[in-house]
Structure 1
Amino acid sequence: MKSKFDVKVLSVQEIHELPDGWSGDDYKSIMELADFDDWDKIEESELKDYTIMTLQELDPEEAAAIVLGYKFQGLLTKGQIHNLVFEMMEENLWEEYQNISYHKELFNCAVMMKWAFPKKFPQTDAVKCVLEVNAYNQIGTNMLHNADKSLIARLIANGMNDHSVINRLFDDQVLNGPFPEAEHIVWQFDSEIQPEKTKFTIFSSWYWLRQMDDISNYTAETFSDQTNLR
């Protein structure tokens, strides 16, 4: 069952890294892979800086191979990683790589390499989009209170025209479901539930959300893949 929603676009902001894109455990693992001694004795507040300094002791290509190898262990071969090392110096792989399930982590890898070698790697750019959503009925309210990425991606798609990338590539998933690709279109989101509305803070790439920069408000009629909420 579809429900109707009023959607207000509160802000669309360019960002250059994701909240919690890298954790303390990630930093420690990178340093260990780069053969940095005593990585386990570093204060939590200094882990990022030490990781960057550790990578800077290496050639950019070697450092990138370590970072990519860590994030994509078991997913990419050494040959694929070797190719990506050189591609990521020139291209926005977080938008261009054909496997969209890798986009978020390719972005995080690009962020790390930009920190370590700012003159060698392109500027990273992603999107933080904040929506305020009101439901027309209780079913819609339940969807908002239990929102998943399929609902968020459909709410976004409903605001954009047929020429947007989401609607061109996934029109059937948006209209009829299921929509497993939403997991990789919406990189992450936070929700703030209020009595009469819900605010979503959504992180993704310009590749998916570019049209949202020109939209202020709209009405969406859509649903979630969670069948008990439809």
Structure 2
Amino acid sequence: MMKYKVKVENVHTVDEITEYWTNDDYVQLLGQFDYPDAEDSGTESLRELLFMAITDFEPSEAARLVLGYKLGEHLSEGQIDQISNDMLNDKVCEEYPEMELQAALFHINQLLFKAYNGKFPSSSATIIECSITPLEENNETALTREMIVRLLNDGLSDRNIVKRLFEEQIKGNTNFPEAENIIWDLKNPEKDHYKITTSGNLIKKDEVISTEWESEIDLSPVDS
């Protein structure tokens, strides 16, 4: 067992992770929306051009094109057609059963939400900035996403869906592959400091009810 001190520095809710989409994504997507030679445009205008190009299409058709571009290798045409229609009424990114696709579906949903000024239901992401410091001097363990989810648990409200759905995994009683997809993005900009991006559905800002706590986790592997 290893002990850590967790100190939350900032928690905020966002409706978009702008750095997810690159200029190359915008150029490729503009091609999908029948806007040729987009690479000749200034990079600062690519996003605005894409939004204009998207809104020349029906929302479900636009969703189908963006889904095909980003997730064509993971979804069948039938699945893409189904999701492109469902997205207009439901927060598919929060409900989709394959957790590994929820992050990409969030980014796609919010791009379309912004382009159409709200025709798609909006979703959110939660960004947690915190320090996680080992309390034993000789602990040089690199923290994994699984370990971080377990360490965050003690600072979360009992209402939290991750806490309720994955109780046995968080306790360390069983394997926890879902942690890789609960945390969408993990940055470690400096020693013991972390920037954690997750779904606003999985961890809401007001569910982080503590600012500082100590947690103990077992680093030994769980038998399959």
Alignment of 1:1-230 (within 5 A): 2-140=1-139, 142-143=140-141, 146-160=142-156, 164-176=160-172, 178-194=175-191, 198-210=192-204, 212-223=207-218
Q: CA deviation at 1:158?
A: 3.4
- List per-residue Cα deviations over 1:70-123 (Å, max 9, x = no partner): 111121122211221222122222211111111100110011101210131122
- Once structures 1 and 2 are overlaid, which stretch shifts more, 163-172 or 40-49? 163-172
Percent of pairs with identical residues: 26
Q: TM-score, normalised by structure 1?
A: 0.85
Q: Distance in 1 between matches of 2:50 and 2:207?
A: 35
What's the TM-score, normalizing by structure 2? 0.88
Secondary structure of 1:74's aligned partner: coil
> Which whole-Å deviations, capped at 9, do the CAs of 1:146-191 have from their partners, x for residues lacking one?
3321222222223336653223322333232542211110000222
Task: Name the CA distance, whole Å, in 1 between partners of 2:55 and 2:84.
Answer: 15
**Comparing 176-185 and 96-105, the one that deviates more:** 176-185
- Alignment RMSD: 2.1
Q: Secondary structure at the match of 2:5?
A: strand
CA contact (8 A) 2:131 2:194 kept: yes
Q: Supply the distance in 1 between the matched residues of 2:74 and 2:23 (Cα, whole angstroms).
A: 22
Out of 161-170 and 33-42, give the one that drifted further: 161-170
Structure 1 stretches lacking a partner, 5+ long: none
Cα distance in 2 for partners of 1:165, 1:153 equals 12
Aligned mates of 1:163, 1:53 — CA distance in 2: 41
Q: 1:159–1:219: 8 Å Cα contact kept in structure 2? A: no
Partner SS state of residue 201, structure 2: helix
Q: Secondary structure at the match of 2:109?
A: helix
8 Å contact kept, 1:7–1:217: yes
The total of aligned residue pairs comes to: 219
Q: Which amino acid aligns with 1:106?
A: L
Give, as a single letter, the amino acid of the residue that structure 1 aligns with 2:184: W
Letter in 2 for 1:44: T
CA change 1:27–1:69 in 2 (3 A) is same
The farther-off stretch of 151-160 and 105-114 is 151-160
Which structure shows the higher helix fraction? Answer: 1
